[in-house]
A and B are shown apart, each in its own frame.
Chain A
Amino acid sequence: AQSVTQLDSHVSVSEGTPVLLRCNYSSSYSPSLFWYVQHPNKGLQLLLKYTSAATLVKGINGFEAEFKKSETSFHLTKPSAHMSDAAEYFCVVNNNAGNMLTFGGGTRLMVKP
């Protein structure tokens, strides 16, 4: 069985300040981990993915995430928030056995001017 917990349902930051969205996972397999972003009335866009290569993964739009096996975490960060980053972010695990994705509950990021 696998599960994903996003520790914050809402995060609010000021423009230009760092972003941290937290994610913990559990999986019986060696998982692939993803972050997707969903802007209002839009589909899910892949930000980045981890697949057992480098533990620090760089994605689009300046986002990156670090895989920490000992902490079963995959937190998403960005050094400086932009207004366009305001969206819903989902942490996702794929156990690769049946190619099934399990989504976290989502974190809504708000960026204040």
Chain B
Amino acid sequence: EAGVAQSPRYKIIEKRQSVAFWCNPISGHATLYWYQQILGQGPKLLIQFQNNGVVDDSQLPKDRFSAERLKGVDSTLKIQPAKLEDSAVYLCASSLAGRSRDTQYFGPGTRLTVL
């Protein structure tokens, strides 16, 4: 079974530029999550989708971050404009619905460096 796919793996941009990350969850997983992991810390949830609807985006800085999950499969996370403090690893995860939904499976992440 293929895991969660993310691209790109690494991205370097200058502040005030925009950037987008892509995630393809495990086939059949209805729930998709984006996390931000700052160096030396545990991941922090940014947004959670159930199919193509947003379940929780309370931690998403909506003035600069946006995310969508069209058609309930792939998802993109965008930052515009980027700030220095956005330098982090952005992790995508997915889970099944129902009784097994408590277990999330993570992709390899995208390491963003903002200069």
- Chain A residues in contact with chain B, CB under 8 A? 32, 34, 36, 41-46, 49, 51, 90, 92, 94, 96, 98-101, 103-106
Given contacts A42-B108, A43-B109, contact A105 B56 (CB under 8 A): no
> Which residues 15-52 of B have a CB within 8 angstroms of A?
31, 33, 40-45, 48
Compute the total of residue contacts between A and B using a CB distance below 8 Å: 52
CA distance A49 to B104 in the complex (A): 11
**Which chain B positions have C-beta within 8 A of A45?**
106
A4 to chain B, nearest CB (A): 8
The answer to the question of B55 belonging to the interface, with a C-beta cut-off of 8 Å to chain A, is: yes
| Residue on B nearest A90 in the bound complex, by CB | B42
**Which chain A positions have C-beta within 8 A of B109?**
43
Size class of the B contact interface (CB-based, 8 Å):
20 to 34
Q: Is the CB of A51 within 8 A of B102?
A: yes
> 16 A-B Cβ contacts within 8 A?
A32-B103, A43-B4, A43-B108, A44-B43, A44-B93, A44-B106, A46-B105, A92-B42, A98-B56, A99-B31, A100-B56, A101-B33, A101-B43, A103-B43, A105-B41, A106-B41
A21 to chain B, nearest CB (A): 14
Q: Is the CB of B101 within 8 A of A99?
A: yes
**Which chain B positions have C-beta within 8 A of A90?**
42-43
B7 to chain A, nearest CB (A): 13
CA distance A106 to B40 in the complex (A): 8
Query: Which residue in B4, B95, B106, B108 is a CB contact (below 8 Å) of A99?
Result: B95
CA distance A51 to B102 in the complex (A): 9
Q: Is the CB of B107 within 8 A of A34?
A: no
A45 to chain B, nearest CB (A): 8
The answer to the question of B79 belonging to the interface, with a C-beta cut-off of 8 Å to chain A, is: no
B112 to chain A, nearest CB (A): 14
